């Protein structure tokens, strides 16, 4: 049967990775279904509500984390599917079908990632209390709840709203907070952007990451994850799945089907681990100093002698300390760091093998191929193919969401 065509508007702000992936998920549903939708989305991907009451369409998918959008749709007569963050209080959910990122699960993934590294001190860098950022308060409460459950103290700092005219002041207050924290501490940041504030502040202070502070964000925005000198570990939200599920719910409503369960909670996809949480419980300060130097410079082609010059002790002394703390030599540490970086680039970028070999400090792409065959019994191309996630399997999909 031929589907009736429908006019649908998307009230989303694609300046955020969250909304961009929601849109991508909606597109995935449209490609895999027989929905015939005429989509309206502002050309600059920003939401404008000034003349929304003049719009005559058939359905809406909207970001209800924005209170203005929620208010604008409060009296609309067409089907609406809302997208946003989860709430601990059920009364906070809107009375429309709602697909939510599971804020508690996001923070739990970040917290457990740090905890399993052996970290025993925790902190949370959040956002000022704001009606426009209700999800930030939900994440803060989740962090406090988890720390209490496992018997840890948690230091919380909300910081200041980011504005150009107060940026230097805000960063100064952030550095004051960092100076007050014990070492080592694992810090969960409410977003990737706040996590980058931490990495920049630590860089200015000369604080080692992750030896002094292991930092993890939430969003895994591929556009910005390498903007800091230390690459950022981040929790990847299930935004693609959220977009898919939102489109599926709206499609049901447009076909006259009743939505029984109005809230769907979508868990995070994974923790994308990078340098900022590559924490190892190292007690020897000289090994810690050497390890940090290797993390920052391994792909520049450094040799063991340059590590020794940086630390300032004899080779026999540092090799002995390294084997006691790390269980292997300084040379192996350099090798492991380069190989780990190559694996990361294969998983997370589209760079070709030649570029990766060059950027990871290998003398040739053939040499890198030989290493991958030795360690993984695969070529770099095969390693990349085997590492690709599959976001959209066939129905049923209920195993990836929680109905509340």
C-beta neighbour count of 259 within 10 angstroms: 15
pLDDT for res 364: 93
Name the fold adopted by 103-236+272-277.
Rossmann fold (3.40.50)
| 222 pLDDT more than 80 | no
Token pair belonging to 332: 């192996």
Domain 6-101+239-268, CATH: 3.40.50.2300
What pLDDT shows up at residue 398?
39
Indicate the burial class of 107 (C-beta count within 10 angstroms; 0-12, 13-18, 19 or more). Answer: buried
Q: How far apart are CA 282 and CA 288, in angstroms?
A: 6
Fold agreement (6-101+239-268, 103-236+272-277): yes
Out of 131-140, 194-203, 223-232, pick the least confident: 223-232
pLDDT > 70: what percent of the chain? 91
Domain ranges of the chain: 6-101+239-268, 103-236+272-277, 285-384
How many whole angstroms separate alpha carbon 240 and alpha carbon 245? 9
pLDDT digits (tens, 9 = 90+) for 4-61: 889 999 998 877 788 889 999 999 999 999 889 988 877 666 666 666 666 678 999 9
DSSP 321-337: HHHHHHSS-HHHHHHHH
pLDDT of residue 396: 37
Q: Measured at the alpha carbon of residue 119, what is the angle toward residues 117 and 124, in degrees to the nearest 5?
A: 115
Model-level pTM?
0.75
Confidence at residue 269, expressed as pLDDT on a 0 to 100 scale: 93
Write out the H or E segment, with its range, that includes residue 341.
helix 330-348
Per the CB < 8 A criterion, the answer to whether 8 and 40 are in contact is yes
Give the pLDDT confidence score for residue 1 in this predicted structure: 53
Q: DSSP H helical segments within 100-133, as ranges?
A: 103-115
Residue 115 has, within 13 A of its CA and on its CB side, a CA count of 15
Q: Residue 72 pLDDT > 90, yes or no?
A: no
Q: What's the pLDDT band for 211 if we cut at 50, 70, 90?
A: confident
pLDDT band (50, 70, 90) for residue 225:
low
User: Could you say which DSSP state residue 399 is in?
Assistant: G
E strands along 50-209, which residues? 59-63, 80-85, 98-101, 122-125, 154-157, 185-189
- Model pLDDT, residue 399: 44
What's the angle, vertex CA 140, arms to CA 136 and CA 142, rounded to 5?
115
| Cα distance between residue 102 and residue 242, in whole Å | 11
The CA-to-CA distance between both ends of the chain, in Å, stands at 33
Please say if the pLDDT value at position 283 is more than 80: no
Class of domain 285-384: mainly alpha
């Amino acid at each position: 049967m031929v589907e009736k065509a429908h006019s649908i508007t998307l009230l989303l702000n694609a300046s955020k990775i969250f909304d961009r992936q929601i849109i991508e998920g909606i597109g995935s549903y449209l490609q895999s279904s027989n929905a015939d939708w005429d989509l309206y989305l502002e050309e600059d991907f920003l939401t404008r509500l000034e003349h929304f009451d003049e719009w005559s369409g058939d359905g809406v998918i909207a970001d209800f984390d924005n209170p203005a959008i929620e208010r604008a749709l409060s009296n609309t007569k067409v089907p609406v599917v809302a997208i946003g963050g989860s709430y601990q209080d059920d009364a906070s959910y809107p009375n429309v079908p709602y697909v939510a990122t599971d804020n508690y699960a996001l923070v739990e993934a970040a917290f457990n990632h740090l905890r399993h590294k052996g970290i025993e001190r925790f902190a949370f860098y959040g956002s000022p209390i704001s009606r426009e950022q209700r999800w930030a308060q939900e994440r803060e409460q989740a962090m406090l709840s988890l720390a209490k459950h496992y018997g840890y103290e948690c230091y919380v700092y909300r910081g200041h709203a980011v504005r150009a005219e107060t940026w230097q002041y805000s960063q100064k207050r952030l550095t004051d907070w960092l100076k007050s924290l014990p070492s080592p501490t694992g810090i969960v940041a409410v977003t990737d952007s706040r996590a980058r504030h931490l990495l920049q502040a630590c860089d200015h202070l000369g604080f080692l990451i992750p030896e002094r502070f292991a930092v993890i964000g939430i969003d895994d925005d591929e556009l910005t994850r390498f903007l800091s000198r230390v690459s950022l570990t981040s929790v990847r939200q299930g935004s693609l799945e959220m977009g898919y599920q939102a489109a599926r719910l709206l499609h049901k409503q447009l076909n006259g089907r009743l939505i029984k369960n109005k809230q769907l909670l979508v868990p995070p996809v994974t923790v994308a681990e990078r340098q900022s949480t590559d924490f190892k419980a190292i007690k020897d300060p000289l090994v810690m100093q050497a390890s940090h130097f290797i993390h920052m410079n391994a792909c520049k082609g450094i040799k063991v002698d340059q590590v020794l010059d940086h630390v300032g002790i004899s080779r026999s002394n540092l090799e002995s300390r390294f084997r006691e703390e790390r269980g292997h030599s300084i040379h192996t540490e350099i090798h492991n760091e380069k190989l780990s970086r190559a694996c990361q680039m294969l998983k997370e970028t589209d760079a070709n093998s030649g570029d990766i070999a060059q950027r990871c400090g290998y003398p040739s792409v053939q040499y890198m191929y030989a290493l991958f065959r030795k360690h993984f019994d695969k070529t770099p191309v095969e390693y990349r193919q085997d590492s690709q996630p599959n976001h959209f399997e066939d129905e049923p999909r209920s195993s990836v969401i929680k109905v509340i």
